[in-house]
Structure 1
Amino acid sequence: MGRTILIGLLTMGGCAAVGEGARTVAQGAGAAATAPLEDLNLRRRYIPTVLLQAEANPYDARNLNRCSTIAAEIARLDEALGPDTDEPPMPDGRNLSQRASDAAAEAALDAIRDAATDFIPGRDWIRRLSGAEQHSRHVQSAIEAGRLRRAYLKGLGMRQNCAPPAAPRWFTPRR
Structure 2
Amino acid sequence: MIRTAFILSICLAAPLALGGCAAMRSAGEGASTVREGFVDAAAAPLEDLNLRRDEIPTVLLQAEAAPYDTRNLTRCASIAAEVRRLDDALGPDADEQPAPDGRLMSERASDAAADATLEAIRDTATDFIPLRSWVRRLSGAEAHSREVQAAIQAGRLRRAYLKGVGMQRNCAPPAAPSWFQPERRRRG
User: TM-score, normalised on structure 1?
Assistant: 0.92
Query: 1:48 aligns to what?
Result: 57
Identity, % of aligned positions: 72
Question: 1:69, 1:95 → 2: CA distance?
Answer: 39
Select the structure of larger CA radius of gyration: 2
Residue correspondence of structure 1 range 135-154 to structure 2 within 5 A:
135-154=144-163
Is 1:84 the equivalent of 2:97? no
Determine the C-alpha separation between the residues in 2 that align with 1:137 and 1:38. Answer: 13
2:37 to 9, 16, 28: 28
2:104 matched to 1:95?
yes
For 1:57, give the aligned amino acid. Answer: A
After TM superposition, the runs of 4+ consecutive aligned structure 1 residues lying more than 6 A away are none
- Give, in angstroms, the shift of residue 90 of structure 1: 1.1
Structure 1 position 169 matched with structure 2 position 178: yes
The one-letter code of the counterpart of 1:68 is: A
- 1:115-161 per-residue CA deviation (whole Å, 9 max, x = no partner) reads 00001000000000000000000001100100010000000000000
Equivalence for 2:166? 157
Identify the match of residue 25 of structure 2 among 9, 16, 30.
Answer: 16
Gaps of 5+ in 2: 1-18
Describe the superposition over 1:52-89 as per-residue Cα deviations: whole angstroms up to 9, x where unpaired: 00011111111111000000000000000011111111
Could you tell me how far apart the structure 2 residues matched to 1:92 and 1:170 are? 21
Q: TM-score, normalised by structure 2?
A: 0.85
**Aligned match of 2:121 in 88, 112, 115?**
112
C-alpha separation in 2, matches of 1:35 and 1:46: 15
Give 5+ residue unaligned stretches, structure 1: 1-11
Deviation at 1:92, TM superposition (A): 3.5
CA RMSD in angstroms comes to 1.0
Count of matched residue positions in the alignment of Structure 1 and Structure 2: 164
Query: 1:3 matched to which residue of 2?
Result: none
